[in-house]
Amino acid sequence: MIERKARIFNIQKYNMYDGPGIRTLIFFKGCPLRCEWCSNPESQKYHHQILYKDELCTQCRMCVEVCPTDTHYLDPVTFEHKVSDDNCIGCGMCVDACPTNALAMIGEDKSITELLDIIEEDRHFYHTGGGVTLGGGEVLAQPEAAINLLAMCKYSGINTAIETCGYAKREVIEKVAEHTDLFLYDIKHMISDEHYRFTGVHNELILDNLKWLLDNKQNVKIRFPLIKGVNDSEENLRLLVELVSPYKDFKNFKGIDLLPYHKMGVHKYAQLGRKYAFDDYSRFTQEELVKVESYLKERAIPVSIIAH
């Protein structure tokens, strides 16, 4: 029997930001959203991709010669090396051929057993209340693999969490909830049209799934990426308060984490041949962050600022 596999793009050990205790974080590739501020742009597409570091390239053309799918090619005018990863099959021949390490493969297929073995390597750290967190990309974009891995972790006595944008069918949410101890649930914007403007999807499904999780006693911590001029208006914060106020005394509502905007990962846009759309957006001052935090605390909403 062929075992199910998950396509991942990173594994982070000893993580202390994405759930309680020390955790192993598995990043699933592929996401239905296109957040303009995304710090992991290589996570958005499901297929394999090539990160190309132009400053290391010597134009030796070895990658062009070995690539079986024309992912690498020469510009017909400038004769410079170009990358079009839509055809990439993840063979890795170009990465192996590159003499200067100018190329990196993004996306690796691992079986559920292989991932569980990696998670088990860190079991002795989980006495801290830790465990495994599945993130992305969007883990629910690979629901079968996610459910299988979560179920095996639970069977092995490992605490489970997922970081999700919640943009998934209700039946997927319900099945995942059977094997998940904590949902780290992203809310990007409360106004649907603005949510669409900055992420490419409307937010009704996301908010409906959040309410279902809270109503059905699933442990949920909301994560709110705080971006100046995008979602920090008083109207947006008021709508957020209205959303969570009915649940603020629920034991399964674990509060809100404010995640201040940062520019970590910006360099990867250029390596993917993309322009970063948020160059003109500035970071919050500490005073501004405390003001937003105080707005929520004054309305009895449990909240913390999580700055990386």
**153 labelled ligand-binding:** no
**98 labelled ligand-binding:** yes
**39 labelled ligand-binding:** yes
Rounded to whole angstroms, the Cα distance separating 221 from 300 reads 15
CB-CB contact of 10 with 103 (8 Å): no
**88 labelled ligand-binding:** no
**186 labelled ligand-binding:** yes
**107 labelled ligand-binding:** no
**282 labelled ligand-binding:** no
**212 labelled ligand-binding:** no
**297 labelled ligand-binding:** no
283 half-sphere exposure, CB direction, 13 A CA radius? 10
Residue 165's nearest CA partner among 147, 181, 189, 148 is 189
Distance (Å) of CA 49 to CA 33, 64, 87, 221, 276: 18, 15, 9, 32, 17
**29 labelled ligand-binding:** no
Rounded to whole angstroms, the Cα distance separating 163 from 140 reads 9
Helix residue ranges, H only, the chain: 62-66, 93-97, 112-120, 143-155, 170-177, 192-199, 204-215, 234-244, 267-271, 286-297
Binding residues for S-adenosyl-L-methionine: 37-39, 137, 186-188, 262
The binding site comprises 31, 35, 37-39, 57, 60, 63, 98, 137, 186-188, 262
- Residue numbering of the annotated binding site for [4Fe-4S] cluster: 31, 35, 38, 57, 60, 63, 98
